[in-house]
Structure formats: C-alpha cells, structure tokens
Amino acid sequence: MDEIGGSILDRVPATALTLTLTRSAIRMQHSRLWRIEKENPVEDLVIALNGRGEYLVGDERFALEPGEAMLLRRGEAFTGWNEGAGLYTGLAQHFTLGIYGDADLIAQMDLRRKVRLSRWDELAPLVRSYRESAPPNSVTLMQHHLFMVFLIAFVDDAFLGWRQGGSVPIDGAAAIDLAVMKAAAQISTAPLDPEVAALAVEQAPYNDDYFHRAFRDRLGRTPRQYQEYCRMERAMSLLERGMSPSQVAGEIGYSDPYYFSRAFKRQMGISPRGHQQRVKRAQDGQVMGMDEADQARALGQG
C-alpha cells in the first residue's frame, strides 16, 4: 500500500502565508567559464535540470545535479561554478515567505541544505515549463502558484524540525499563532504516534494550560482531539482506497473495529461504511463533499 503522508505545511491556513517572488526567475545556463560569488538579501531556491553545479557555502562544498534542489538563505555568502564540459542548467528563484504578517517562515525551520526531490518525476516538466515561460523582467500569477508547489516539495524533503523561537523574535498574537501552527503541523504529519500531541504541547514555549486554550481557540479542538481528527482523516483516505473498516482500524491503531467505527462516526458524522457508500455515490455522479455550512460545523466539533 502507498504511504499516505502529509506535508509539514498542510495545516497552515492559506491566508496566513505571504509568498513574494522578489525578482524574475533566473534561467540558469552556465558554461565552464561561469563563476559567481554573491550574497542575496532574500531566500534563493535553486533546482538543477542538466549538468552539474559546484557550490561553496561557508565551509560546506557540494554539487547540485539534475533533480536536486538547494536553499540559499538570506545573507549567506556563496560561490558557484561549473567544472564540467557541458552546460549546467536549471532554475533559481529569489523569494520571501512570510506567515502571520512579517514573520519569516523559512527562518523558523531547520532544513537540509540540499535534497534530491522525491517527486522529481512529476515536478521536472513543471520546472522546465516554469523556466521556459517565465518573463525576463517580471513575475506572473501562474509563477506564484507553481513556485509554491516547488517550495512545498522542497520543504517536505528538507524539513528537519522547527527552530525553538526561530531566528527572528516574534511577539504578541503572531507568536502564539505561529506556535499553534507548528504544533498542528507536527501532529498532522504523525497522527498515529501516540505521544505526538503531548510532545507538541511540551515543545511549545508556553505554559501547558495556556497553550491548550490557545490551540482550542484557534482550531476548535484540543491537541489530543485534533490528533484524533487527523487519524480519522487518514482513515477516510484508506477507506476511499477500498480497504475494509476492520483493515483500516488496524492500520490506524485500533484493535477493536467496533470502537473504531464509533470513533469515526463521532469525528466525521458518518460511519465508515456510510463514507464508502458516499464515495460510491460520488463516483456515480452525485456530490460527495459538504457545503460551507456543513464544513464549518464539522471543523468546529469538539
């Protein structure tokens, strides 16, 4: 069975993020004569398409090959060159990613410098299209959409953890909003870990009681209730793949299928069999999803 995973950014509200492409895309096409020594005032995501680029960032030297991506953080001095006989081609995009106003989201994360993109087979044609269609002196709405896809793919593969407090101090409501988002992301990516909710609360830089209240105020559930909701969302995906309710119960950690069915109905408002029947009706042309009022009620359940 294919693993059902979650992005670390899956639970970040779209309205909380501000992506800015600070200059037009750089269509890298570098011969053996190319050499660059630079420091950028913003983040720079570099994706290699052909050839091989050599880089030195601080004391760290590495190569970037097709299907690999690296992040150069703002203020980092780096050197790049091509030692090969052929062209080194790829895409570089300068950007900033804010969350809850001016908070720098990238600065809150520990990320691997370089990764091989695990979804490269599907991303490669998009990267090539982005590179070839990018205007030389401007940015477009479509670029914003596509670049967010590339950035999320990189973060998914490069993410090591949240930095405690981040590298930039954040105060007031934005700080607690960010702390709740980090905890929700941690829970939603590992909902089958029995300790994940407690660990997320423990790692938050706030009193436990205060953080529980803040979490529930923002998400409508306590951390443990939110974890259970995420488990049931995982169960929904498995049911939609054709697994039986008893198989799904075992897959998400329930030894008693009957208890799983009760828990699923309590969280989702429908039994596991009922959900599968709803999926079947949708396949036959009927609407499966909820409208806005139903969705709001479901998300607001305790």
C-alpha to C-alpha distance for 230 and 294, rounded to whole angstroms: 18
Contacts of 75 (CB under 8 A, 6+ apart): 39, 40, 41
Would you give per-residue pLDDT tens digits along the chain (302 residues)?
344 456 777 767 777 888 999 999 999 999 999 999 999 999 999 999 999 999 999 999 999 999 999 999 999 999 999 999 899 999 999 999 988 776 789 998 999 999 999 999 999 999 999 999 888 888 888 899 999 999 999 999 999 888 865 444 555 667 788 888 888 888 888 889 999 999 999 988 899 999 999 999 988 899 999 999 999 998 998 998 889 999 999 999 999 999 999 999 998 889 999 998 888 877 665 545 555 666 566 555 54
Count CB atoms within 10 A of the CB of residue 31.
12
Contact predicate 42/95, CB 8 Å? yes
For 146-157, write each residue's pLDDT tens digit. 999 999 999 999
For 171-184, write each residue's pLDDT tens digit. 566 778 888 888 88
In this structure, what are the phi and psi dihedrals at residue 297, rounded to the nearest 5 degrees? -65, -40
Contacts of 158 (CB under 8 A, 6+ apart): 71, 111, 112, 113, 115
For the record, the structure tokens of 163 come out as 């930095």
Give the predicted TM-score (pTM) of the model. 0.73
